[in-house]
């Protein structure tokens, strides 16, 4: 049957084709990126996940049947080519392949829904509608190679620091943090919701004695945002540690990010170059600014911010202009933080809570958690919630819950920082926002 591999197998990726293997016979496989036919000579650029390789076919040296087969190629078709490597200083990687055998594995229909060579620019909606082609662009695939390395490095960091990986339910019976920003679903004969956060389950694991846990998983927020930094389905990187407070887990987050940026600079240098993004390794210790100080900074920049309110977009910009880079925003008002956040002893209008910011972008929220059952019930009630809706969660606090703290980081927002992307949709393979549910 046409298009089957049969006994054909790739011997070299594009980035393995270099002058060191000149004279060798190889087999390359990939997509037809470009075709240039000058009559007496043809050039075909083949693209794979690692880069591009040039197929050069002079009519005087290549069998006529192969020339005919090359002329039947269509852009973005999937092909395999056997041939001999020869040096060519002007070609990608300094070599070209003289074809000896050609195999079409799948012809692409024409016209294409978008141009992956970007000679014709496509808008973000067109690109996301045809994400499978958009991903063929090296600058797009570079984002997800960096994101994949980011997850790899984060997992290694957690394992190396004594954390255990957990997986918590994404189908939940009630809100994690209260509020109405939930996606309801039919769960047999009752209503359930998509999980906003693994927060309550992470805390229950502290009662389970696992000491330090992390999770990388999906979260869902039914917020009707329509901005360049919000998604309704995102990946959250969560950590929780027993016998620790907010200062301890801020240091863990600080160390993790320095490690991740160092590692990506080392292992994703090619991808960063493709994106034209310089990733500066931050100072070992991120600056800290208190909420009170932030209010003063924002107001001094001419942006009105009453004490006790969350930061508006304008306030975030003003604070980011002043601080720059990574910094922790600490000692928040208790009233605007979730019920499980520990108030400051003796000054309970403040909480042991923090956000990690990068310029004007919030990356993470964290806190020392309430570990005393009665205080937790009190704070649930003070926020207008019913403790009965948190029955199984509260039960974990009755039988020996250690002091603990933790945080969650938005993976797509962190990817924006790592890649220099300005639209969070660039950092999700198939983004879900208030307008997009396909593909």
pLDDT of 203 over the 80 cut: yes
Strands 164-165 and 212-220: parallel
pLDDT of 16 over the 90 cut: yes
**How far is the C-alpha of 83 from the C-alpha of 162, rounded, in Å?**
51
% of the chain with per-residue pLDDT over 90: 92
**How far is the C-alpha of 262 from the C-alpha of 265, rounded, in Å?**
5
What is the CATH number assigned to the segment(s) 133-427? 3.30.930.10
pLDDT of 312 over the 80 cut: yes
CATH class of 14-106: mainly beta
Where do the CATH 2.40.50.140 domains begin and end in the chain? 14-106
Q: What is the DSSP letter of 19?
A: G
Nearest to 168 by CA among 148, 195, 208: 195
pLDDT at 118: 83
Contact 82, 100 (CB under 8 A): yes
Q: pTM for this one?
A: 0.94
Neighbours of 289 (CB within 10 A): 18
CA atoms within 13 A on the CB side of 150: 27
Q: Which two tokens stand for residue 96?
A: 């070209």
**How far is the C-alpha of 332 from the C-alpha of 267, rounded, in Å?**
37
Where do the CATH 3.30.930.10 domains begin and end in the chain? 133-427
Q: What are phi and psi of 212, to 5 degrees?
A: -135, 120
pLDDT at 176: 60
Neighbours of 392 (CB within 10 A): 10
Q: Which residues pair with 357 in a beta bridge?
A: 327, 362
pLDDT of 327 over the 70 cut: yes
Contact 416, 361 (CB under 8 A): yes
How confident is residue 120, by pLDDT bands cut at 50, 70 and 90?
Answer: confident
Per-residue pLDDT, averaged over 94-110, amounts to 96
pLDDT at 371: 98
How confident is residue 119, by pLDDT bands cut at 50, 70 and 90?
Answer: confident
pLDDT at 389: 85
pLDDT of 1 over the 60 cut: no
pLDDT at 318: 97
Per-residue pLDDT, averaged over 328-342, amounts to 97
Q: Give residue 187's Cα distance to chain centre.
A: 30
Nearest to 255 by CA among 361, 161, 325: 161
Q: Which two tokens stand for residue 232?
A: 């309704």
Contact 146, 268 (CB under 8 A): yes
Q: pLDDT for 66-96, tens place per residue? A: 999 999 999 999 999 999 999 999 999 999 9
Q: Which residues pair with 104 in a beta bridge?
A: 79
Q: pLDDT for 125-181, tens place per residue? A: 999 999 999 999 999 999 999 999 999 999 999 999 999 999 999 999 876 666 568
pLDDT at 283: 83
**How far is the C-alpha of 96 from the C-alpha of 105, rounded, in Å?**
21
% of the chain with per-residue pLDDT over 70: 98
pLDDT at 175: 65
Q: pLDDT for 346-382, tens place per residue? A: 999 999 999 999 999 999 999 999 999 999 999 999 9
Per-residue pLDDT, averaged over 276-300, amounts to 95
**How far is the C-alpha of 92 from the C-alpha of 105, rounded, in Å?**
23
Q: Which two tokens stand for residue 213?
A: 């846990």
Q: Which residue has the higher pLDDT, 177 or 293?
A: 293
């Amino acid at each position: 049957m046409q298009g089957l591999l049969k006994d054909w197998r790739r011997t070299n990726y594009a980035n393995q084709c270099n002058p060191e293997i000149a004279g060798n016979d190889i087999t390359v496989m990939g997509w037809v990126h470009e075709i240039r036919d000058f009559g007496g000579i043809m050039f075909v650029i083949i693209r794979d996940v690692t880069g591009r390789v040039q197929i050069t076919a002079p009519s005087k040296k290549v069998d006529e049947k192969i020339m005919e087969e090359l002329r039947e190629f269509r852009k973005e078709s999937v092909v395999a080519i056997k041939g001999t490597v020869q040096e060519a200083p002007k070609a990608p990687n300094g070599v070209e392949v003289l074809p000896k055998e050609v195999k079409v594995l799948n012809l692409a229909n024409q016209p294409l829904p978008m141009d992956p060579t970007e000679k014709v620019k496509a808008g973000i909606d067109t690109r996301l509608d045809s994400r499978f082609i958009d991903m063929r662009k090296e600058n797009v695939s570079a984002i997800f190679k960096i994101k994949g390395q980011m997850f790899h490095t984060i997992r290694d960091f957690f394992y190396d620091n004594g954390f255990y990986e957990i997986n918590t339910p994404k189908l939940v019976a009630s809100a994690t943090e209260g509020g109405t920003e939930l996606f309801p679903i039919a769960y047999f004969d009752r209503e359930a919701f998509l999980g906003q956060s693994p927060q309550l389950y992470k805390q229950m694991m502290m009662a389970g004695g696992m000491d330090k846990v992390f999770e990388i998983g999906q979260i869902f927020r039914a917020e009707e945002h329509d901005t360049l930094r919000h998604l309704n389905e995102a990946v959250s990187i969560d950590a929780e540690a027993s016998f620790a407070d907010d200062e301890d887990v801020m240091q863990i987050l600080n160390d993790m990010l320095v490690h991740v940026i160092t590692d990506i600079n080392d292992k994703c240098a090619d991808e960063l170059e493709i994106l034209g993004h310089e990733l500066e390794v931050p100072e070992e210790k991120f600056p800290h600014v208190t909420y009170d100080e932030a209010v003063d900074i924002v107001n001094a920049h001419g942006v009105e911010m009453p004490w006790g309110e969350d930061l508006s977009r304008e306030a975030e910009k003003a604070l980011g202009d002043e601080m720059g880079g990574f910094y922790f925003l600490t000692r928040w008002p208790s009233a605007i933080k979730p019920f499980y956040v520990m108030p400051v002893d003796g000054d309970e209008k403040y909480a042991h809570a923090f956000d990690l910011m990068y310029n004007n972008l919030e990356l993470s929220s964290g806190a020392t958690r309430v570990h005393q059952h009665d205080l937790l019930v009190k704070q649930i009630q003070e926020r207008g919630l019913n403790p009965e809706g948190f029955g199984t969660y509260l039960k974990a606090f009755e039988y020996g819950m250690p002091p603990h703290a933790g945080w969650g980081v938005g993976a797509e927002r962190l990817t924006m920082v790592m890649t220099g992307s300005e639209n969070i949709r660039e950092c999700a393979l198939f983004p879900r926002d208030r307008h997009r549910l396909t593909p």
